Structure 1
Amino acid sequence: MNFPVVGSNIEVQSYKHNGTLHRVWEETIILKGTSQEIIGGNDRILVHESDGRSWRTREPAICYFSANHWFNVIGMIRDDGMYYYCNLGTPFTYDEEALKYIDYDLDIKVFPDMTFKLLDEDEFRMHKRQMNYPPEIEVIMKKAVDELISWVGQQKGPFEPGFIEYWYERFLHYR
């Protein structure tokens, strides 16, 4: 698999199970790019939704993508602490166009005190019916949710104290 070069600026694209484009983040600066993980940073970037709406992110963020895990993590740096938004979806792929993954609706929001909330279970059930998710997707998502919750509890990976701050300092060198 190709992977982006450190310092390059890439687009991130999420798709739905049926192949339709779901959301596009215009600019993410690559801070680490290997075949196993990609770490990027962005700040107040333009995001395009599939329904034609666009909006800007509100704060600096460090994005963690894995080739081995069915989730990605966005660490958002806010005045009142570190928040994390975790998307449940396929491991990433990367081509010259963009970093890509399939979003499977479920999300976990993690608060500065490391409490969390599972979001969009209704959306997952609805899309499961509408897009005919195969039975193994539900099994994989359950396992991914459990793994992600375990990472939060263990403060592992992007939840490790200092992880987001370290990569944010690197991000500032490219701005």
Structure 2
Amino acid sequence: MREVRVVYRKYDGRLHWHQWMRYLGEDQYGVWLGAPAGAVAQRGDEPEITMAAACAQLFPRDRWFTASFNDAPQKTLIYCDVTTPVTFGENEFTMVDLDLDVVKRRDGSFYVDDEDEFAEHQVKYAYPPDVIRAAQASCDWLATAVLTEEPFLTVYKSYLDQAR
């Protein structure tokens, strides 16, 4: 079983979320990793947290986002991070978190999160104009896609089954 370290960084290079996940496969949407309930994740050097539910995570090739699909009892069904395109290493996937998040709850509600943080960080970290445009375009696309397109409708379910 292949294990992959997932490493999100912030634009200034500091470590953000990171954890080990299991390789589940690859399809036209990207590479899928999974973690069962009880897996451990960590934000920066904060204390580790134990995940209450299994999750499958999608790492698209050449796209400006990653997506997590969470098992019950998590209230959040789909959590998309707007990021730089993933750098795929043999045993490590890395990307820069660009603050914006697109969230779909299990009850069907939906919202875009951290728009204020995105605006602040554009100034604080001097995001280049092309990064700002790409991040906003990805967020705008995700805001519709998570409600209307695959892999956000049914495709993720088989990967979540594997992650369990």
TM-score (norm 1): 0.83
Higher relative contact order (CA 8 A, sep 6+): 2
The residue number in structure 1 matching 2:153 is: 160
Secondary structure of 1:19's aligned partner: coil
User: Taking every aligned residue pair, what percent have the same amino acid on both sides?
Assistant: 22
Aligned length: 163
The residue number in structure 2 matching 1:18 is: 12
The residue number in structure 2 matching 1:48 is: 42
> What is the deviation of 1:100?
0.6
Taking only aligned residues, the RMSD between alpha carbons, in angstroms, comes to 2.2
C-alpha contact (below 8 Å) 2:147/2:153 kept by paired residues: no
Task: Give ranges in structure 1 of 5+ residues lacking alignment.
Answer: 1-6
C-alpha contact (below 8 Å) 1:108/1:117 kept by paired residues: yes
> What is the deviation of 1:153?
2.8
Secondary structure of 1:24's aligned partner: strand
TM-score (norm 2): 0.88
Change over 3 Å in CA distance of 1:96–1:134 after alignment to 2: same
Change over 3 Å in CA distance of 1:123–1:113 after alignment to 2: same
Query: 2:160 is aligned with what amino acid?
Result: Y
Separation in structure 1 between the aligned mates of residue 39 and residue 153 of structure 2, nearest angstrom: 25
Separation in structure 2 between the aligned mates of residue 134 and residue 38 of structure 1, nearest angstrom: 27
> What is the deviation of 1:53?
2.8
Task: Give ranges in structure 2 of 5+ residues lacking alignment.
Answer: none
Separation in structure 2 between the aligned mates of residue 125 and residue 80 of structure 1, nearest angstrom: 28
Query: 1:57 is aligned with what amino acid?
Result: M
Alignment of 1:16-165 (within 5 A): 16-25=10-19, 27-33=20-26, 37-43=30-36, 44-79=38-73, 83-157=77-151, 159-161=152-154, 163-165=155-157
